[in-house]
A and B are shown apart, each in its own frame.
Chain A
């Protein structure tokens, strides 16, 4: 039995490795590109691995200092973390209410979801006008709120699914013991849906981190997120490919750290999940 399992793991491991090669090749390509010079980007035959003496941080330094990359990392972090926290915080409360009390029924839940469906091109200018009235253009708030509109429905629906799958008896017994509704939510429900919370946090962060259209429209100078800064490296005549790749490498670091950090909670979900059914 035991050796059977090991064989199975080796076979699956092989499959996963092959898949991983496909998924990581573009990432590797980006990493290699970040060490190339401009004339190696379009070379024929392609330069796959740049020569050894080029393995320096010039493109990274260029992207971070020459083009405002440091500010961009900071701005994107602030916007993405805030959006993720607001979406998951507000979203988990709403999800609890929708899942447990079926407030407003299916129609109401669907309305919430539908706010993510609206084509952003159509809502961009009205939102721009709202934030102009509030004098919030070129502030973090404008971007955080715009991203929240699109991420909150996702968070609510994802968490709603997780809460619905929890047996209600646990909360009921806590309530009988005299815990408040919020207490039951906070101490019983939230820990039990931690895999869901973590997934929601991770993806709302990533969706915001990668968002471009609102980042462009709602900012000017004081706030300049990474996507706008990276897009700015593509001039009309001079696309700074290597700097774009270097910025891309820098831009995945927070995400990867977040995954490593949140992984533990997903894993913990394994033991928690035992409570289901």
Chain B
């Protein structure tokens, strides 16, 4: 019995000791660049905010004094990243009214807005004085504003995180004279960061070496790979769509007939399948973490990744290749003599006001404060994982200077600007989860060698038609045509 009590006491002491340690919470300093006026004080209202757990909810804590000045107390509900949709949808379906401000991934905006879970924000946005109410949507970069905030012509959400994919490559390898000469001899052209997906495949092949081979003058102790792909189930569709969209493929045509099995898309998938030959053996189960670490540990020459990876690759405490990283446009496809580039914008985050909120006005003030007033501070600190999404963010490299140095910041923002100009959206109409899952599954089956590219995409087209029929074709076509309007406004289609 003594032994038990002793271990119990030990454990309790351990827990108490840990509890006694108070961590100092950092917060970024106000920059004073963005001009705004806070909402007039409310009468001590509580606003419940829900979002994916972790550092992206930190801003509500950074600015709690601001909120206190507005008479608002924030209560945060943290949901694991992977379960946000499931959790929010269940609460919405159950009409619990538990949340005032909801954070979600914009792929679900069609679902949430069309089902009436969210409050249209246009009326708040137009209120006077503008310094208090206007979230300056014209400052938000067009793809985020047009595709991820609006539904049916109304604004339902405000972007707080701008995710887009960029190409990263080993600058030192591309600059190496021996490698350049070898490449020229083998392919008859200059070694350059890939402009098209065909170039990508060649460069990937070129840089793939076995342990014992020489790479840039050094003998390799481990195998080295030309490229890697996000080939794990979940986002493999986005890496495929980078290719398909650059070949001019949009998910559906005007009448919602799938365009996903057009020749351009099939060639794109084939290109991705071919790349796997030059990728590490784990590639079929590689997600964000594995891809990032394969690259920053110096095991791959090129990778397409989210825009926060360059920040990590530049950090010598995490990265073996700090100072050797180039960032560029995601490769493209030559269409009529001109190379078109498209970067997928998977995930991202928006905030919205729940339709059944008891305190919609205060909730809007909170959302606007995060999405505009303090957004520059939030995207330029290492304390969050939020990425820039406003022109005013890109115009202020000095805000990022503390994070990465002014020069790097300017280059980083310029790269981001370029990538966002190429931005191509996820499917965001109602049923997006189903459409996306069907696409991802078949792409993944093709990648794992189960079926051919053509078979996979034919399967997707058939499945998509089935989904559209189940969800109600007439309605789906109508919302899709609205979506195409935004595509057109952005110049993504003719």
Contact = CB atoms under 8 A, between A and B. Distances in A.
**A–B contact via C-beta, under 8 angstroms:** yes
A63 to B, nearest CB: 9
Interface string B38-58: 000000000010101111100
B76 A42 contact: no
A86 interface: no
A124 B294 CA distance: 39
A261 B90 contact: no
Contacts of B18: 57, 60-61, 64-65, 70
Given A61-B23, A257-B4, A137 B55 contact: no
A232 B78 contact: yes
Contact of B82 (A64, A65, A231): A231
B475 interface: no
Interface in B57-83: 75-83
A235 B54 contact: yes
B80 A257 contact: no
Interface string B93-136: 11010100000000000000000000000000000000000000
A235 B21 contact: no
Interface stretch (B7-15, B190-198, B427-435): B7-15
Given A65-B21, A132-B96, A38 B8 contact: no
A233 B55 CA distance: 10
Contact of A232 (B75, B80, B222): B80
Interface stretch (A105-113, A151-159, A196-204, A213-221): A213-221
A51 interface: no
Contacts of B55: 235, 238
Contacts of B154: none
B4 A260 contact: yes
B284 to A, nearest CB: 17
B317 interface: yes
Contacts of A42: 289-290, 293-294, 297
Interface string A105-140: 000000000000000000011001100100001100
A8 interface: no
Interface string B1-27: 001100110010001001101110000
Contacts of A235: 52-56, 81, 385
A232 B53 contact: yes
A228 B84 CA distance: 12
B299 interface: yes
B83 A236 contact: no
A234 B288 CA distance: 12
B402 to A, nearest CB: 20
Interface string A209-243: 00000001100110010001001111111110000
B56 to A, nearest CB: 7
Interface in B258-312: 288-290, 293-294, 297, 299, 306, 308
A135 B87 CA distance: 17
Nearest to B99: A220
A19 interface: no
B73 to A, nearest CB: 13
B322 to A, nearest CB: 12
Nearest to A64: B18
Contacts of A73: 15
A137 B96 contact: yes
A61 B93 contact: no
Contacts of B53: 67, 232-233, 235
Contacts of A138: 98
Max count, chain B CB within 10 A of own CB: residue among A68, A236, A254: A236
B187 to A, nearest CB: 29
Nearest to A38: B318
A237 B79 CA distance: 15
Given A65-B22, A70-B18, A137-B98, A236 B318 contact: no
A236 B19 contact: no
Contacts of B290: 42
Interface in B437-482: none
A43 B52 CA distance: 27
A44 B385 contact: no
Contacts of A239: 289
B413 interface: no
Nearest to B297: A44
A238 B50 CA distance: 19
B347 interface: yes
B81 A236 contact: yes
Contact of B52 (A70, A236, A260): A236
A253 B347 contact: no
Contact of A238 (B96, B317, B385): B385
B54 A233 contact: yes
Given A42-B290, A42-B297, A221-B76, A234 B81 contact: yes
Interface of A: 38-39, 41-44, 57, 60-62, 64-68, 70, 73, 124-125, 128-129, 132, 137-138, 216-217, 220-221, 224, 228, 231-239, 253-254, 257, 260-261
Given A39-B317, A221-B77, A257-B11, 12 more contacts: A42-B290, A57-B18, A64-B18, A65-B23, A132-B96, A216-B86, A220-B50, A233-B54, A237-B288, A239-B289, A260-B4, A261-B4
17 contacts: A39-B318, A42-B290, A60-B18, A70-B19, A124-B90, A129-B94, A137-B98, A216-B87, A220-B98, A232-B78, A235-B54, A237-B288, A257-B4, A257-B7, A260-B4, A260-B7, A261-B4
Interface of B: 3-4, 7-8, 11, 15, 18-19, 21-23, 48, 50, 52-56, 75-83, 86-87, 90, 93-94, 96, 98, 222, 288-290, 293-294, 297, 299, 306, 308, 317-319, 347, 385
